[in-house]
């Protein structure tokens, strides 16, 4: 059974006298999909690919005026339809105990998925290379990590002020910033990082 919504680069052909519903490659979009996979396999970041697609005014999968986003590309890069495999029976309906809800969809184990062949847009080697590039990027990412403030046990929080990643780190507070209980009116010790979080209205979790 082919889902009613075809992946980007394909068109769904309804069931007819010639056979069941199936997918056919839609070449104008398939060419863009090949470009995305090739660039990702070569090491181009997802954000860079998005910027270039938007700069080239390539229509998005929705066909609207929206721009290409990283979530869209991430889903495409993990979709096995591009190497000739789509799946049925990936989810199941279960009762939903939330008020006002009757049921919800939950994922099934991969062993329960039913593979349905479809025309491949790219080679399996390209798909694997694009996936490896994403894995390698995750392992070597220099994005700030979440940690706990050693002074006031606020968690989670991003890289502290003055860290190497200045683009996402908190800016240093002026020396006059209140830091003691008397200055802050708090019953417990505070710190500049706690104040930086509070000033921006960010949620915090208190440690033990």
Where along the chain do its domains lie?
10-140, 143-208
pLDDT for the residue 100: 85
Residues of the chain with pLDDT under 50: 145-147, 154-174, 176-181, 183-184, 186-189, 207-208
CA gap 149, 191 in Å, rounded: 9
List 114's β-bridge partners, or say none: 88
Contacts of 2 (CB under 8 A, 6+ apart): 12, 20, 21, 22, 23, 86, 88, 116, 118
pLDDT for the residue 173: 46
**Helices 124-140 + 70-77 axis angle, to 10:** 130
Q: Are 177 and 170 in contact (CB under 8 A)?
A: no
Average pLDDT, the chain: 76
pLDDT tens-digit profile of 83-103?
999 888 888 889 888 888 889
CATH of 10-140, one of 1.10.10.10, 3.90.1750.20, 3.40.190.10, 3.30.428.10: 3.90.1750.20
Cα 106 to Cα 7, 17, 56, 96, 184: the distances in Å are 21, 34, 38, 10, 47
């Amino acid at each position: 059974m082919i889902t009613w919504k075809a992946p980007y680069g394909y068109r769904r052909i309804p069931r007819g006298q010639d056979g069941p519903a199936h997918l056919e490659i839609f070449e104008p979009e398939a060419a863009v999909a090949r470009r995305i996979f090739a660039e990702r396999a070569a090491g181009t970041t997802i954000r860079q690919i998005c910027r270039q697609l938007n700069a080239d005014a390539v229509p998005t999968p929705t066909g609207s005026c929206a721009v290409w986003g990283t979530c869209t590309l991430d889903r495409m890069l993990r979709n096995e339809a591009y190497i000739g495999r789509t799946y049925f029976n990936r989810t199941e309906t279960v009762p939903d105990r939330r008020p006002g809800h009757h049921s919800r969809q939950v994922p099934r184990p991969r062993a329960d998925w039913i593979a349905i062949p479809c025309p491949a847009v790219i080679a399996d080697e390209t798909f694997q290379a694009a996936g490896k590039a994403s894995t390698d990027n995750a392992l070597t990412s220099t994005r700030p990590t979440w940690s706990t403030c050693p002074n006031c046990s606020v968690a989670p929080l991003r890289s502290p002020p003055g860290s190497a990643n200045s683009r996402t780190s908190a800016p240093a507070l002026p020396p006059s910033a209140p830091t003691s209980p008397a200055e802050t009116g708090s019953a417990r010790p505070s710190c500049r990082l706690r104040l930086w979080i509070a000033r921006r209205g960010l949620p915090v979790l208190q440690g033990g």
